[in-house]
A and B are shown apart, each in its own frame.
Chain A
């Protein structure tokens, strides 16, 4: 159905119930979309930097590719969620300042881990503000982001004591 100017409260034509999103939920989900736009950009940058680095960068390239796909899927799912609720999801910026320049395999892995740390933190902030399918989406997004960040750090030979977080997304 076409989104109206009011938050959707009518039953969804697709059959899955869309919980109405209050203002705080829209704000938190929009923040997460913005984080995912940046993560898609950053993961693509990491993958591009790793592309010419040969066999020694194979594992890191695989992580970058998986991260790109996962961040794009989460961005699209959240965008659809917001549109279905009658909200206006944020668009991507033309470019982003990366927290780490992926100039080496190690730096690219650090970048991937930091992008996923941000996804985890933003998911933590949003998960309590939504219910139903939206909460399922975000609780799983948090776990998957934490897993990717941990894999990236372990692949970069960070010690398990540092790579494994006690409370992902929270601290």
Chain B
């Protein structure tokens, strides 16, 4: 009982079908045991859920920007940070799938339901979520941006700043989880756990030098 069946919560199996959600949501959702028929006239989410989802999506987009900047400054951290960045792209996609109204109702963003969540990250227009480390406009070499401080101290500082951003996002998701309906609360609880885990890993990596 992954989705709790309250208004639009996807079951685990529906979540597995994420990339195809925009095209085949009807069949997949039905196959996953959800009796609602969503895609044609998707009901508006409860206002508390829309607000919580918007705040969560904003936090995820901010994190994508932070990660892109850190990866550009510190290519040596790309392997570590690229994997975590991909999680945030996945988080945005999960939010957009569960709250399709995000695509039209987000005033400041460009989340596209079911599409590539990376499209909303301005710093990586090519947006390959699976290989984010490779892309950040560094022709030829894996060196840092010209003029950027890529010293070990600067790297440790970048990791600490990302950990702080992750903890702030975790707090945002926790508050959203407590405010949301039972349909959205599980996803926000999972996102909260994910950002807390990211912060812990970043802190460990930073203290390990």
Contact = CB atoms under 8 A, between A and B. Distances in A.
A binds B: yes
A147 B196 contact: yes
Interface stretch (A52-60, A76-84, A86-94, A127-135): A127-135
Which bucket holds chain A's interface residue count? Answer: 20 to 34
Interface string A142-163: 1101110011001000001101
Nearest to A28: B1
A21 to B, nearest CB: 13
Nearest to A143: B193
Nearest to B191: A167
B190 A129 contact: no
Given A142-B193, A166-B91, A170-B2, A160 B201 contact: yes
B6 interface: yes
B174 interface: yes
B135 interface: no
Interface in B154-209: 170, 174, 177-178, 181-194, 196-198, 200-201, 204
A151 B200 CA distance: 9
Chain A contact residues, majority secondary structure: helix
Interface stretch (B39-47, B79-87, B111-119): B79-87
Contacts of B83: 160-161, 164
A135 B178 contact: yes
Nearest to B87: A166
A44 interface: no
Nearest to A170: B190
B90 A166 contact: yes
Contacts of B34: none
A42 interface: no
B197 A164 contact: yes
Interface stretch (A32-40, A97-105, A118-126): A118-126
B1 A123 contact: no
Interface string A110-124: 000000000010011
Contacts of A163: 201
Contacts of B1: 28, 125
B9 interface: yes
Given A124-B189, A139-B189, A171 B182 contact: no
B186 A127 contact: yes
Contacts of B84: 164
A146 B12 contact: no
Interface in B41-92: 80, 83-84, 86-87, 90-91
Interface of B: 1-2, 4, 6, 9, 12, 15-16, 80, 83-84, 86-87, 90-91, 94, 170, 174, 177-178, 181-194, 196-198, 200-201, 204
Please list the 6 inter-chain residue pairs (A to B) with the smallest Cβ-Cβ separation, ordered nearest first: A128-B182, A146-B193, A168-B193, A143-B193, A128-B185, A166-B87
Given A163-B201, A167-B94, 7 more contacts: A125-B1, A129-B4, A135-B177, A143-B192, A164-B84, A168-B190, A170-B190
20 contacts: A120-B193, A124-B2, A128-B4, A129-B4, A139-B178, A143-B197, A146-B194, A147-B196, A147-B200, A160-B201, A161-B83, A164-B201, A166-B86, A166-B91, A167-B94, A167-B187, A168-B197, A169-B189, A170-B187, A171-B15
